[in-house]
Amino acid sequence: MKNIEIKAKVDNTDFLRTVLKSNNAEFKGIDFQTDTYFIVNNGRLKLREGNIENSLIYYKRDNLSGPKKSEVILFKNVNDESLKNILLNVFEVKKVVRKKREIYFIDNVKFHIDEVENLGSFFEIEVIDYNDSMPDSEMKNVCTGYMDLFRITKNNLISESYSDF
């Protein structure tokens, strides 16, 4: 699958929740996640362990501060130590990131309000194309429209992954 996404440093998470609620966003829940990032030759590889989302995620994405395209391969995993033990024996750990994540959806757009341990509050918008049917330009327009709705400015945008902080 592919997505167009942004990540922004934010201060007023109550405002974000109000806008999500007023736009009938579907609240999926609060996930307490541990992301273990591994050192790989190409792209990024992370194991996500949470109470809602558990996945091995490989993705390629440029470090750009605006809406950026990610090519993603996602393996949904049960929360099982076997996969983690294999990865720990094969790859060196780059970083472990712990966060509290609120997950919302409006159609094919996923929103995260993250409280990241030792980093602060962040907001993510991910326009997801599950079957390669949406042009990148349309996905960027959707993302930019939501940036405007949530008052996300260029000054708020973060180009890196949490693993790069």
pLDDT band for 62, please (50, 70, 90 cuts): confident
CB neighbour class for 49 (10 Å; exposed up to 12, middle 13-18, buried from 19): buried
User: CA Rg, the chain, in Å?
Assistant: 16
Question: Per residue in 68-116, pLDDT tens?
Answer: 988 899 999 887 789 999 999 999 999 999 999 999 999 999 999 999 9
Report the CATH number that the domain containing residue 154 is assigned in CATH: 2.40.320.10
Q: How far, in Å, CA of 41 to CA of 67, rounded?
A: 24
Closest C-alpha to 49, from 64, 62, 32, 63: 32
Other CB atoms closer than 10 Å to residue 5's CB: what's the count?
A: 22
pLDDT at 131: 86
Total domains in the chain come to: 1
For 137-163, what is the mean pLDDT? 93
Owning domain of residue 113:
2-164
